[in-house]
Amino acid sequence: RRTQVGIIGAGPAGLLLSHLLHLRGIDSVVLERRSRDHVERRIRAGVLEQGTVDTLVAAGVGDRLTREGLVHHGIELRYGGTGHRVPFERLVPGRAITVYGQQEVVKDLIAARLAAGGDIRFEVGDVAVHDAATDAPYLTFDGQRLDCDVIAGCDGFHGVSRASVPEGELTVYERDYPFAWLGVLARVEPSAEELIYAWNERGFALHSMRSPEISRFYLQVPAGEDVADWPNERIWAELRARLETVPGFTLTTGEIVEKGVTPMRSFVAEPMRHGNLFLAGDAAHIVPPTGAKGLNLAVADVRVLTEALAHRYATGSGDLLDAYSETCLRRVWRAQHFSWWMTTLLHTFETDDAYARRLQVSHLDYVTSSEAAATTLAENYVGLPYERDL
Ligand code: FAD
Ligand code: DHB
């Protein structure tokens, strides 16, 4: 089989790329290691930037998102016994976030691709990249061969794409954090209308949601924490201790349906290209989840890649492909900084001394009292504008 674009990975990046290319008349095949059921159930991100929503709607895959997504015009920062709302409607008029599970985006994209006759292979093994630096790159999997014009590495942080680039071709920038997030999904109505990012001495906690019946929570825990050490009672007690810190707020508890520990890291590999292999999404970069940027960055990357490939097929010019990495990295580094900034603002670091704690409180006070500082948070959180239209 031969295709124009061979895509590794059926996460948000690979699936959206396949769909956007299809809308431009460009053929692709998606190779995914896991089953359809597995990728549709994998619980991860939940916050979509305005631009991500606009991208999905414009691509014709936003019907359910528009119906079921929860549009939020602010978030709360909670610390020192007080909640402070960051009002997007005043600070960044016309821009909001939409709370809609990543696995719902994945379901909608898979459905759209299959309805259009798209070729997604699930449960393929041993995917390998060959001759990426030449004009005849190809993929192999399960003893089969797929010839491509270009390969899109959309296989996440632990995929084969980045690993297939020869040693020395990529420069890696990274930072590890001494903590992780314990994520919890519970069948209980949210205890607040908007997301609550809470800081206190016990560590960070986040109250999010998926629907009027489902709540989503995260707790800062030490790196390498075992989820087995977090029976449900301990989770609720810790969430209460970290969130019930303002008068009149009580956390409604319910059945926990899923829990897991996610490590936190910052990571960028540059450039996001090796010959005819283009890296997109988590395959090229990771941010700690505090700024809710990972999925949104993946969407931004594939927008740029789609435009560049469409330009190349329409004109024969590789100019936009040549600019792909640089174009993406401008947004990637903005998100790297914002995610690191939100993470240091809201977590407790064991190495912090009393002076560092005072600085952190001063930082929180500034962000919640200065219009300029709050606008910095708001404009990054809802997402900065894209450089180009699709
Ligand atoms: P992935 O979703 O990782 O998809 C990669 C795909 O490639 C997977 O399906 C994988 O199975 C497949 N694959 C891997 N290796 C191979 C192989 N060798 N062969 C074939 N297929 C392979 N981001 C936000 O924007 N907002 C949030 O609120 C947010 N919260 C998060 C909360 C948590 C707990 C976590 C874990 C992440 C969160 N993120 C958030 C980040 C977001 O989930 C990721 O950035 C996003 O999944 C990246 O999409 P992707 O398509 O690049 O990679
Ligand atoms: C969610 C995840 C995040 O990383 C975040 O910053 C906010 C919300 C969520 O899964 O709902």
pLDDT tens, residue by residue, 307-357 = 999 999 999 999 999 999 999 999 999 999 999 999 999 999 988 999 999
Region 230-235: mean pLDDT is 98
Question: Looking at ligand 2, which residue's alpha carbon is closest to its atom 1?
Answer: 46
* pLDDT at residue 389 is higher than 90: no
Q: Is 46 in the pocket of ligand 2 (CB under 6 A)?
A: yes
Integer Cα distance of 20 and 280 in angstroms: 14
Residue 79 a catalytic site member = no
Residue 259 a catalytic site member = no
pLDDT tens digit string along 92-120? 999 999 999 999 999 999 999 999 999 99
Confidence band of 264 (pLDDT split at 50, 70, 90): very high
Integer Cα distance of 19 and 26 in angstroms: 9
Give yes or no for a contact between 78 and 197, defined as CB atoms under 8 angstroms apart.
Answer: yes
The answer as to whether 289 is a domain residue is: yes
Residue 177 a catalytic site member = no
Please choose, from the candidates 383, 382, 268, 265, the residue with its C-alpha nearest in 3D space to the C-alpha of residue 325: 268
Tokens read off for 146? 């797929």
- Provide the pLDDT for residue 76: 98
- pTM, full prediction: 0.97
Residue 87 a catalytic site member = no
The answer as to whether 313 is a domain residue is: yes
Question: Looking at ligand 2, which residue's alpha carbon is closest to its atom 5?
Answer: 292
Tokens read off for 249? 């707020």
- Provide the pLDDT for residue 388: 81
Which CATH number do you get for residue 331?
3.50.50.60
Distance of CA 349 to the CA centre of its chain: 24
The answer as to whether 45 is a domain residue is: yes
Region 291-313: mean pLDDT is 98
State which H helix or E strand residue 132 sits in: none
The answer as to whether 21 is a domain residue is: yes
The answer as to whether 123 is a domain residue is: yes
Q: Name the active-site residue from 72, 73, 259, 347.
A: 72
Question: Looking at ligand 1, which residue's alpha carbon is closest to its atom 13?
Answer: 155
Region 124-136: mean pLDDT is 97
For the question of an ipTM over 0.90, the answer is yes
Number of domains into which the chain is organized: 1
The answer as to whether 385 is a domain residue is: no
Integer Cα distance of 25 and 342 in angstroms: 40
Region 5-25: mean pLDDT is 98
- Provide the pLDDT for residue 13: 98
Of 147-156, 202-211, 319-328, 350-359, which gets the smallest average pLDDT? Answer: 350-359
Integer Cα distance of 67 and 58 in angstroms: 15
Region 358-382: mean pLDDT is 97
The answer as to whether 360 is a domain residue is: no
State which H helix or E strand residue 174 sits in: strand 171-187
The answer as to whether 42 is a domain residue is: yes
- Provide the pLDDT for residue 350: 87
Ligand nearest to the CA of 161: 1
Confidence band of 369 (pLDDT split at 50, 70, 90): very high
Measured from the Cβ of residue 69, the count of other Cβ atoms closer than 10 Å reads 21
Residue numbers of the domain that contains 47: 2-74+95-174+265-350
In the numeric block, the tokens 């999925």 are attached to 295
What mean pLDDT is reported for the chain?
97
Integer Cα distance of 142 and 152 in angstroms: 19
- Three-class SS of residue 129? strand
Confidence band of 28 (pLDDT split at 50, 70, 90): very high
Task: Name the residue of 72, 103, 208, 290 to mutate for ligand 2: max ligand atoms within 8 A of Cβ.
Answer: 208
